[in-house]
Amino acid sequence: MSTPEPITGVMSAVQPPPDKMIEVFINGKSVQVPNRANLVEACRLAGEYVPTMCYHPRLQPIGKCGLCCVMVEGSAEPVLGCSAKVTPGMRIATETPECKLRAALAMNRLVQKVRFRTPENFSHAPELARVMEHTIANAYDDTSNALQQDMTKCIECGRCVRMCKDIQGLGIWKLTDGAVVPVSTSSGLPLADTLCVSCGQCSSVCPSGALMEKTHLEQVNAALKSGKVVVASMAPSVRVAIGEEFGMAPGSISTGKAVMGLKRAGFHFVFDTNFTADLTIMEEGTEFATRLKTGKGPFPMFSTCCPCWINLMEKSYPELIPYMSTCKSPQGMMGALVKTFFAKKLGKRPQDIYHVSIMPCTAKKDEARRPDMMRDGYKDVDYVMTTRECAKFLKMRGINTFDLELPFDAPMGLGTGAGAIFGASGGVMEAVLRTAADKVAGCTQLITPQMQQCRGFEGVKTADIQVASHPLRVGVVNGIANIKRFLAEVERVGFDKCGYHFVEIMGCPGGCIGGGGQPKSMDPDVLKKRSAAIYEVDEKATIRRSHENPTITELYDRFLGDPNGEMAHHLLHTHYHPQVVKAKEVAAAPTIGGAGAAEANTVVVLYATVGGQTEAIARSIYNDLKSSKIDAKLWPMDGCMPADLVNIKTAIFLTCTFGDGERPPQATQVWDWLAGQGSGALKGLSYAVFGCGSRKYGRFCQAAKDFDFKLEGLGATRIIEVGLGDETADDGHQTAFEPWAAHLYEELGVEPPKAALVPHYRIALGFQASVPVPPPAKTMYATLTETALATPETYGRPIRYMEFDLADTGYEYNVGDALGIFPSNLGPNIDNFLHWYGLNGAAVVSVVPVDEAAPLPIPPTISVKHLFERYLDIYSRPRKLFFRQLSNFAANPKEKANLANLASKEGAEALADYLKDGPSYVDVLADFPSAHPTLDFLIEMIPLIKVRLYSVASSPKLVGHKCQLVIAIPTEVTRSRGKVTGGGLATSWLPTLKVGEQVPVMVHEGSLRPPTESTAPMLLCGLGTGLAPMRALLQDRLKDKSENKEVGFTLCYQACRYNDRDFILQAEMTKFKQAGVLHKHIGAFSHQDPKRFETVDLLMKEHPEDVWAVLKHPNAHYFYCGPAAFNIPAKLEAAITEAVSVAGGLTKENAVAFVEKMKAEQRWRIEAF
């Protein structure tokens, strides 16, 4: 017999042992850790806690949740512990303020996601609550017999998706970009209509309860109160795992304790499924011997103990039905005997007995519903409880400790060691071979070396053995992905040529000890420990071969007759039938290529945005690629699995820059994952980066530059140089984007897209707009509770104070965050435009993507007026691309030529002259009336309205769910050639709002967080409305003071133009001083004295002692909020450095080092706009 070729891609259920141990230092303590460990694993080995949520020891780390932040010596900022690997001598700290702050922010994001999906949080907004209740129906799915889904609890950790795809090779689940249902089936169909095999591995790693076994606890409780005989039966692997739920160590054997617990809970009899495992060996062994004796097979014969394997076979491999053993599983056999043999012994009718099976497996719930598990209208197994459910049930019944022990009940309470090892992969095969070796070959050796080849955690094991005169090849496979690989290889070779006679198959990694219903565990060695306990049960057993079980012999003698006889076949055997499901397309889910195979030849476009402009550019690239028949995917950076990048060939990264050269929060999880990778991690990736920024900021497009540098350092190949879009350029970001994109498409071999000749969207007429009108994507309606001028009415540059109630939004904010407000065009202006353009504002339409274009963030149905009022920024300054696109629609040759000229290189001067008086898109359409694009084209040619961010001016510790802002209204700004006055889009709209109106808002994570210690001194610097976060910090201190906490010295510089006009909030500043939370308040008035342009940096230089009075303290913090223009942040840094040198007596070099130390310790916080 030839040796089978090894099957590639096979995965082991446990990690291989380390090559060697290395020394690292964790919180100052020397620790020996495996050389391949990540930092989370190393810290846990050292007994140091690191919070995690997306991380799981059995899954590939993806760095999605951002909780596991640790500091590594030599690193300027925390790194993600799950993604970074240890190196010899590495020094790791887990308890630093920076780590805890990062973890707190990450946890806040996770909690916000769950709160957002809870209709109860909108109880004060009944219309919105009703919409939530309607849409959230898709978050629930209980169509499966085994699993239930409640995605309102989902925290988007991605564990279920990775387990199903990467470990089990099924790909049933996928992450969506939906806010209400963040995870769905890949087909979008209910779980029961997919190729899910009910293995439950997704539920075993779900940390939030969004996926869990379908519970039957209420039914079991009702059964115990019914007055009927209630019987429990317990599977082999339950006894080595259930103790974990009661504080026992993994691998603890709690057989008698579990029996006692069930008896105390009210069960009348508790039987051992080991007993029917022995019975399975007798039946399966006899069936196999008959196939061998006749020589007809068919071979290989496949074991049938595992119900998720049966589901897989019937759904995806129905051609294997003739090869399957006809034996029921031990659960199936126990059910049949309880309702026949045992019922007869008790003198009871089958319907007078409730049988509850306690199993490690969620798929056993499926098995219990099979038609052959029912007879004469009653079920053999009434209910199945998983190990987790059983523990929960016992605790519900007041049993919280495992102490006393009882044996199983007769007549089905005696099992052998062979029955016990059914719980581990290879156990069924070894049990069969033990009996075959003794009965057929007369071998006296209990366990031969060939039998031991069945043990272990390898995904596929093969053994060639000799039983009497029969040379046999047996196989042992565990894990669905390995099963699919094994079957693919057998099919390739041919069933008649593969040489296998008998194959044991278990769907869960490691077998039943790793079942989807077992206790959840973060112990990377939990399967090894449970397996060791299973074999310990076997070693301690008095009887270790199934055929030597005297109660089995007695059962055959008194009830069943011969093995495989008429009675045995009637009760203990079954038939299999194809299961037809709707989601047949999932059958093609890749497994042989491994994780990420589907993305290998895909161009992935990843983006991180704040206001939406970067997203729009990313969407345009994606649409161009799809139009050119390129397989492309569009990923928001906070909605993807960063680890998938290792399997991707081409990726395009687009990011804006936020604040003082910072990466936008949406980029955090991808960046943190990249930061934890080693050199060469992305050597198979080709990439391009484009950044959106403004040259008025000192660190222009720094986030894009950071990504470009990091990707190159990880071995990725740059396709073209990084593109840097400048919103202050003549044509905004498009000035740099258009030539960059043309170069990119040339390198990718993509035909340059035509200028909107074919729309990516079409307009479909609707019947009724969405009611109530939903807020724009990622926003919720807040109520305006206060609006007033903070400056004199006569002042020409007014500042407005506004307060919003966030109670019904589901959003929470912290000091330092920004409130995003989604503005609207003014209704009368839109009415005028629609009337002139010939559009019916009351008409209801749907915007439908064409040819897989990326959907626009617009409601499913919307009135034309609402579309222009809320979503299309039609009164903004037009981009050059619009003129090029519009030229395709001009019917007048002169207008067509003029538009083409304005869009050309040669017409740059003419375009600049045309744009001097500030025309809008409306004006361009009016200037060229023969160019009249239909609505299908306009929605793509005109940019979408973007959210506007305003620094929060309040502390939730003091004002609760109210959110307060101070907003400058630049009334001197006009739009559309002066026809639209009062400021920009948002600032001309906000003053028109009345108290009580609903405003779409979102909370954007900021960086100006208060010090962790209330005693930390603060140097505050707010320019103009940059005073807002300084007010929030002072409110925070006011709350601390009211709670009798000691507060540190605070100095606040407030810069504005005039002492008597825009020196706002002075009454509050006086109260802060009176309360003892503001110790010194200095105003800088740039326009008060025409002879002196007074600025904060000037005052710092004139009085350096004021600065040093704060910063001389070791925990002092510096906060700045204000413009980035005119290099103000750098000027202030120079002034502070000089003050430290002059007043602090430091050399210039040491003063620079002093400031750099503050930055490294996260005590230098800047928010520049």
Tell me what pLDDT residue 178 has. Answer: 64
Residue type, 378: Y
Q: Give the residue among 1065, 1056, 1029 at the shortest CA–CA distance from 953.
A: 1029
CA atoms of 597 and 575, how far apart (whole Å): 36
Residue type, 994: K
Tell me what pLDDT residue 844 has. Answer: 85
Which pLDDT tens digit goes with each residue over 420-458? 999 999 999 999 888 888 876 677 777 777 788 889 999
Query: How many angstroms separate the first and last alpha carbons of the chain?
Result: 75
Tell me what pLDDT residue 589 has. Answer: 31
Return the HEC string of 508-545.
CCCCHHHCCCCCCCCCCCHHHHHHHHHHHHHHHCCCCC
Are 213 and 388 in contact, with CB atoms under 8 Å apart?
Answer: yes
Contacts of 772 (CB under 8 A, 6+ apart): 127, 128, 131
Peptide bond into 860 cis (omega under 30): no
CA atoms of 428 and 303, how far apart (whole Å): 8
Are 316 and 588 in contact, with CB atoms under 8 Å apart?
Answer: no
Token duo for residue 205: 């790693």
Tell me what pLDDT residue 756 has. Answer: 41
Residue type, 133: E
Are 691 and 703 in contact, with CB atoms under 8 Å apart?
Answer: yes
Would residue 111 be called left, alpha or beta, if left means φ above 0 and alpha means ψ between -120 and 50 degrees?
alpha
CA atoms of 1118 and 604, how far apart (whole Å): 40
Are 344 and 401 in contact, with CB atoms under 8 Å apart?
Answer: no
Q: How far is CA 631 from CA 275, 583, 598, 599, in A?
A: 55, 22, 10, 9
Residue 1096's Cβ-count burial label (10 Å; 0-12, 13-18, 19+) is: buried
Helix, strand, or coil (residue 1068) = helix
Token duo for residue 658: 């936020």
Q: Give the residue among 88, 89, 71, 93 at the shortest CA–CA distance from 80.
A: 71
Q: Which residues of the chain have pLDDT under 50?
A: 1-2, 584-599, 755-756, 770-771
Q: How far is CA 989 from CA 820, 943, 972, 1064, in A?
A: 14, 18, 15, 22
Question: Is the model's pTM score more than 0.85?
Answer: no
Tell me what pLDDT residue 754 has. Answer: 55
Q: Give the residue among 147, 152, 162, 159 at the shortest CA–CA distance from 194.
A: 147
Helix, strand, or coil (residue 976) = coil
Q: How far is CA 300 from CA 146, 499, 904, in A?
A: 29, 8, 72
Tell me what pLDDT residue 6 has. Answer: 57
Tell me what pLDDT residue 687 has. Answer: 95
